Amino acid sequence: MKIYSTTDIRNIALVGGAKAGKTLLGEAMAFEGKVISRMGTIEDKNTLSDYREIEIERQNSVVATLLYSEINNRKINIVDCPGIPDYVGEPTGILPVVEAAAMVVNATSGIEVGTEIIWRKIQKQQTPAIIVINQLDHEKANFDDTLRDLKESFGAKVTVVQYPVYNGAEFEGVVDLILQKYLKFPKGGGAAEVLDIPASEKDKASELYTALVETSASGADDLMEKYFETNDLTIEEMRRGVKLGLRSQSIYPVMCVSAKQNKGVARLLEFMGNNVTPPNEGAGLVNEKGESVIVDQSKPFSAFVFKTAKEQHLGDVAFLKIMSGTLSEGQDIVNNKTGNRERISQLMVVAGKSRVKVEKAEAGDIVITMKLKDVKVGSTLASGGNDIRYAETVYPEPIFSTAIKANNSADDEKLGTVLNEIHASDPTFIVEYSRELKQIIIKGQGEFHINTIKWMLDKVYKIQTQFFAPKIPYRETITRSAEATYRHKKQSGGAGQFGEVWMLIEPYYEGMPNQTKYPVRGTETHNLSWGGKLVFNNCIVGGAIDARFMPAILKGIMEKMEEGPLTGSYARDIVVNIFDGKMHPVDSNEMAFKLAGRNAFREAFKNAGPKILEPIYTVDVTVPADRMGDVMTDLQGRRAVVMGMSSEGSYQIISAKVPLAEMNRYATTLSSLTSGRATYGMKFSEYQQVPADVQNALLKAYEEAHKEDNE
């Protein structure tokens, strides 16, 4: 395998809506670069990219796959990303390490949900983008409609570089405005014939050429000046304008292909090789200090781990983008995240399931290595003494969660290990064990994402599992003050037990003065691990209770706070004043005071206007303007309080506070309300009292559940 220098490498992500044909296009690109001698197909389940069991069964991509091709002695690294919106974590991790995205659009269906979602990501990441209209061979393909759709949604920077020409129903060729040629595809494949633009196409070609010249002028200041003066550019100037405009995102060139018939793919590769920015001139990455770092061959070695995977026969694989210097087999490196020193055992370039060993790779290249310990997505590897650390990619917050349990409790431990393993290679999949709820909660990008995980547990790891609605972490508190006394007394046979506690409890709020009708002699403030506070005041006068029993009383109260009197949820934000009590010279001990403290607290709590609190989340929904009404109505049905609205292009962003209890399966509902065109994020905001009807329902449910327990 040849070693490519930085300037001969191009890194491109294939992104777009589901089933646009990205995987097949990647296959055709690898074929054109002679990486494979025969193209696989989706239906024959033998593509380079969709080789995982789940991808073969479902016939769609689930994981981003690295491929490569070659054109004119340049290596084109291609990352084929899945298009299903629930797998958005994959392109999210890839876009930062490529210098361009090829957004593949299906000419039979135009802009789809996935197209819009990925386009917004491309804009946010400021990745240069080429638009590739695919499936032009299809009987339902419509280039003009698709183009109009693209311009309407993504603006005037969308500019035709090629348009298709048909011979009857056959996709026969493309007029290429950069080459000023007609590329005619022979029946049955093979290199395109390069012909002059036919007379019948002259008018259309010239009209589109004028538009191309105009947009390409915005690629550089001198071109813009010349264009203003003369209203024209030379063909060389136009080409320079396209190249620079692609880089600065002032032009989104439109290219035409049929991946299936391998038409236009060789020219697309050539266009990419000529126009996509080499890594050393791209945006690079940002380091942990927020400074941008450009790919640089002359600096000591460093690389960013943008993906990890567990692969059959290879074990733990790390995907590296080499950011500086050279990486060679046998080289010693440091993982700057952990400080671990390791040796690179093997380096490989990959085209999906096919892998080739390489001795070394240069800055800008993308390679894999195996068997490194504790290397995670986001780690920086570097040569000793080079302490650079690249900032980790920010992945979208999870929006769908469920509790999961192994059907067979013997699988519990294995399930935990496997879920963590899946998280390691998919940062958008989150696993948490909630001690409070006594549930394993898994979170992801939607119900489909979570069902994919279930599929893997069933089929790959052979663990049968079930999903449950996650419990809601309610809290309990009080709304007014109340007093209670409790005497714990036991005299049966030998040593007795005696303790009596008088207490006043009050609602705690931030900044309140610490004084009550009983003078406070000693105070302790506890920040509760589940949020909120307990202030414990000793107001005992005249030694009614020995100071040595105070910790036991506090312990009893804490026990009750951990299992609140109303529904067994954690209690919070309470001031407890112990103002009197009684001791027995012989029978008083810590146990007796703990029980007295606990029971006095329970009694007082019940009389202090107890309330259940529920977690409230801030939910931001990004919704196409025409679906606002439906989404609003649905939110209102979820007890949402709308905090504000703003707009972003043709989208509205609704910001609302919504109780977590109302958000179960929201991802699924939102998707069906908007045909998948809306997205949302949610973040914990605060605890608030539940309305009276909800409180009554919760109390009733708790009673019912306990009745069953007692039966």
Ligand X SMILES: Nc1nc2c(ncn2[C@@H]2O[C@H](COP(=O)(O)OP(=O)(O)OP(=O)(O)O)[C@@H](O)[C@H]2O)c(=O)[nH]1
Q: Is 142 in the site for ligand X (CB under 6 A)?
A: no
User: Distances in Å between the alpha carbon of 229 and those of 222, 224, 244, 519, 651?
Assistant: 11, 9, 20, 87, 38
In the bound complex, what is the minimum distance in angstroms from residue 22's beta carbon to Mg ion? 5
Q: Is 82 in the site for ligand X (CB under 6 A)?
A: yes
Crossing angle, helix 202-217 and helix 235-247, to 10 degrees? Answer: 50
Nearer CB in complex with Mg ion: 61/250: 61
Q: Is 307 in the site for ligand X (CB under 6 A)?
A: no
Stretch that binds ligand X, among 69-77, 129-137, 329-337, 592-600 (CB under 6 A): 129-137
In the bound complex, what is the minimum distance in angstroms from residue 82's beta carbon to Mg ion? 6
List of residues 6+ apart from 134 with CB closer than 8 A:
20, 21, 25, 104, 105, 106, 107, 257, 258, 259
User: Distances in Å between the alpha carbon of 244 and those of 13, 120, 177, 308, 444?
Assistant: 19, 22, 17, 33, 38
Task: Select from 258, 465, 538, 695 the one that contacts ligand X (CB under 6 A).
Answer: 258
Q: How many residues bind ligand X (CB under 6 A)?
A: 20
Q: Is 61 in the site for ligand X (CB under 6 A)?
A: yes
Q: Is 375 in the site for ligand X (CB under 6 A)?
A: no
Q: Is the dihedral of CA 100, 106, 109, 110 positive or negative?
A: positive
The whole-angstrom separation of Cα 48 and Cα 27 is: 7
Tokens of 482: 């109340």
Strands 341-343 vs 332-335: parallel, antiparallel or unpaired? antiparallel
In the bound complex, what is the minimum distance in angstroms from residue 655's beta carbon to ligand X? 31
On whether the CB atoms of residues 663 and 682 are closer than 8 A, the answer is yes
Stretch that binds ligand X, among 82-90, 353-361, 520-528, 657-665 (CB under 6 A): 82-90
Among Mg ion, ligand X, none, partner that 267 touches (CB below 5 to 8 angstroms by kind): none
> Looking up tokens 């009673």, which residue turns up?
703
DSSP 163: E
Mark residue 111 as left, alpha or beta (left: phi above 0; alpha: psi -120 to 50; beta: remaining). Answer: beta
Q: Give the interface with Mg ion as residue ranges (CB under 5 A).
A: 22-23, 61
Nearer CB in complex with ligand X: 23/308: 23
On whether the CB atoms of residues 653 and 388 are closer than 8 A, the answer is no
Stretch that binds ligand X, among 80-88, 222-230, 582-590, 605-613 (CB under 6 A): 80-88
List of residues 6+ apart from 300 with CB closer than 8 A:
324, 325, 382, 383, 385, 386
Nearer CB in complex with Mg ion: 81/632: 81
Stretch that binds ligand X, among 130-138, 344-352, 417-425, 519-527 (CB under 6 A): 130-138
User: Distances in Å between the alpha carbon of 128 and those of 125, 288, 390, 506, 638?
Assistant: 9, 23, 21, 60, 40
Task: Select from 92, 109, 135, 216 the one that contacts ligand X (CB under 6 A).
Answer: 135
Task: Select from 94, 178, 259, 561 the one that contacts ligand X (CB under 6 A).
Answer: 259
Task: Select from 5, 7, 46, 60 the one that contacts ligand X (CB under 6 A).
Answer: 60
SS3 of residue 311 by DSSP:
strand
In the bound complex, what is the minimum distance in angstroms from residue 37's beta carbon to ligand X? 20
Terminal Cα-to-Cα distance of the chain (whole angstroms)? 72
Nearer CB in complex with ligand X: 82/282: 82
Q: Is 453 exposed, middle or buried (0-12, 13-18, 19+ CB in 10 A)?
A: buried
Nearer CB in complex with ligand X: 22/267: 22
Q: Is 115 in the site for ligand X (CB under 6 A)?
A: no
Give the contact letters, 9-38, x = binds to ligand X (CB under 6 A), - = no. Answer: ---------xxxxxxx--------------
Among ligand X, Mg ion, none, partner that 497 touches (CB below 5 to 8 angstroms by kind): none
The whole-angstrom separation of Cα 205 and Cα 164 is: 11
Among Mg ion, ligand X, none, partner that 260 touches (CB below 5 to 8 angstroms by kind): ligand X
Q: Is 138 in the site for ligand X (CB under 6 A)?
A: yes
Binding site for ligand X (CB under 6 A): 18-24, 42, 60-61, 82-84, 134-135, 137-138, 258-260
